[in-house]
Amino acid sequence: MDTYIRNDRAVPGSVRSDVHTQTLNAGDNTRNHGLGKAIIGFFVQDGNDFVEVEGNIIDSDNFNFNLASGSIVNAKLTLIYTQ
């Protein structure tokens, strides 16, 4: 998934973002976002630095982040979805 939004304001096409904080460990990390929407993009930050992770949709309320190695305490997870 490519991420192309880095704010939480509405943009053309009614795309919005939702921000969560979660500790990520190496391997799979599920996030229950409760949006009831399909996620169309995401990004992960460690402080101000962007981190490369794999991600996939589990269902309309859950998303999985896969961190290759290490861990990130209080990672900022931004999920992009359509209204």
Residues with Cβ < 8 Å from 30, sequence gap 6 or more? 58, 62, 63, 64, 65
Instruction: Locate the domains of the chain by residue range.
Output: 15-82
**Mean per-residue pLDDT of the chain:** 85
Which residue type, as a one-letter code, is found at position 53?
V
User: Mean pLDDT across the stretch 50-78?
Assistant: 94
For the cut 70, the answer to whether the pLDDT of residue 4 exceeds it is no
Q: Are 23 and 62 in contact (CB under 8 A)?
A: no
For residue 29, pLDDT over 50 is answered with yes
Both tokens assigned to 37: 């929407």
Is the predicted pLDDT of residue 2 greater than 50, yes or no?
Answer: no
Interval 33-62: pLDDT, tens? 999 988 888 999 999 999 999 999 999 999
